[in-house]
Amino acid sequence: MSATPERAGGCEIAVLASRVGADEKRLFDAFDRRGVRFEHVDTRREWFVAGRGGVSRGVVLNREIGQVRAAYAARCWSVVGADVVNSADATEVCGDKWRTTVALEAAGIPVPRTALGLTPQATLDALDEIGYPAVIKPLVGSWGRLIVSLRDRAAAEGVLEYAGALPGPQSHLGYVQELIDKPGRDIRVVVVGGQVLGAVYRQGASLRTNVALGGQVRPCEVSPEIDKLARDAAMAVGADIAGVDLIEDREGRLLVLEVNHRVEFTGFQSALGDRIDVADHIVGFLRERAQR
């Protein structure tokens, strides 16, 4: 293993990240403001020896951007005795949209009607059951990439024919959902340690409202329903730090779209301003966790 977290006034905290973006810089600043020493660990240089455990017993914040590397990093650091946030289980569930949906459904949390076809033809049959319009999404992915709305069977056949010709077997699986007639926005809620920090509306000109794709954000009042739904969703997937995405249908009913284990919060922070300091809350949560 190439590095171990340093002890910081009774705390041992490492931050795993191969890319240091705006969110990571906010976190590093929060560590400094609180006087908490930390170590940035570049996961691209990490290696582990099988069977060698007990190297670290500190807290590790997993900010690795690549899903596969994030999941394996969480597993490896757990094996050597670290308390990884989020856990390997949560990282793997949140990183797979189907597994997320199954976990949410099992917890009785409302989600759009969803199906998984194991072949392109099976996906077409699933879409006939769900009905059109619908949406097809990659099982693994973020920032709204490769999400396609399907207005009818002809559109679905074209997309699935293309997907079936791709070399990766995962591309042949079809994760499909009913297309919710939403009011031009969705809701992002940030949950840390079981506490809802706040919520924002994300608005966009298309199906995708992700801030990374130019979506606009503005504050959203956290109703008791939003608060409970977000906390329950984070708990259902086992995430201590989570970005929960909600969607409203035209009747105002709230549904959970997905739960993100690596929360990007710069846009969220800019919308809420001085009302909440996300990075400071995360660092505070990690420090308390390290002192247990």
Burial letters 85-100, b for 16+ CB under 10 A, else e: bbbbbbbbbbbbbbeb
Do 51 and 80 lie in one domain? The reply is: yes
Pairwise CA distance, residues 240 & 86, whole Å = 6
Contacting residues for 228 by C-beta, under 8 A, at least 6 apart: none
Q: What is the pLDDT of residue 50?
A: 87
CA 170 to chain CA mean position, Å: 19
In a domain, 122, yes or no: yes
Q: Is 291 within a domain?
A: no
How much is the pLDDT for 72? 96
Instruction: Give the model's pLDDT for residue 124.
Output: 96
Are residues 171 and 200 located together in one domain of the fold? no
Q: Are residues 205 and 256 both part of a single domain?
A: yes
pTM of the predicted model over 0.95 = no
- Indicate whether 148 and 76 sit together in one domain: no
Residue 277, in any domain of the structure? yes
How many domains in the chain?
3
Whether residue 192 contacts residue 260, with contact meaning beta carbons closer than 8 Å, is answered with no
**59 and 120 assigned to the same domain:** no
Of 94, 124, 153, the one marking the end of a domain is 94
**Cβ atoms of 16 and 60 closer than 8 Å:** yes
Question: What is the rounded average pLDDT for all residues in the chain?
Answer: 90
Residue 256 backbone dihedrals phi, psi, to 5 degrees: -95, 125
Domain end point (choices 147, 178, 209): 178
Structural domain containing residue 64 = 7-94
Regarding whether 267 and 213 lie in a shared domain, the answer is: yes
* Cβ 34 vs Cβ 284: under 8 Å: yes
Per-residue tokens: 34: 């609180």
For residue 101, tell me if it sits in a domain: no
How high is the mean pLDDT in each 10-residue block of the chain (292 residues)? 45 90 97 94 92 74 96 94 96 97 98 96 95 93 77 94 83 93 91 98 67 74 97 98 95 94 94 95 96 84
Of residues 287, 248, 285, the one with CA closest to residue 263: 285
Determine the Cα angle at 148 with ends 145 and 154, to 5°: 155
CATH of the domain at 84: 3.40.50.20
Q: Which of 34, 61, 94 is the last residue of a domain?
A: 94
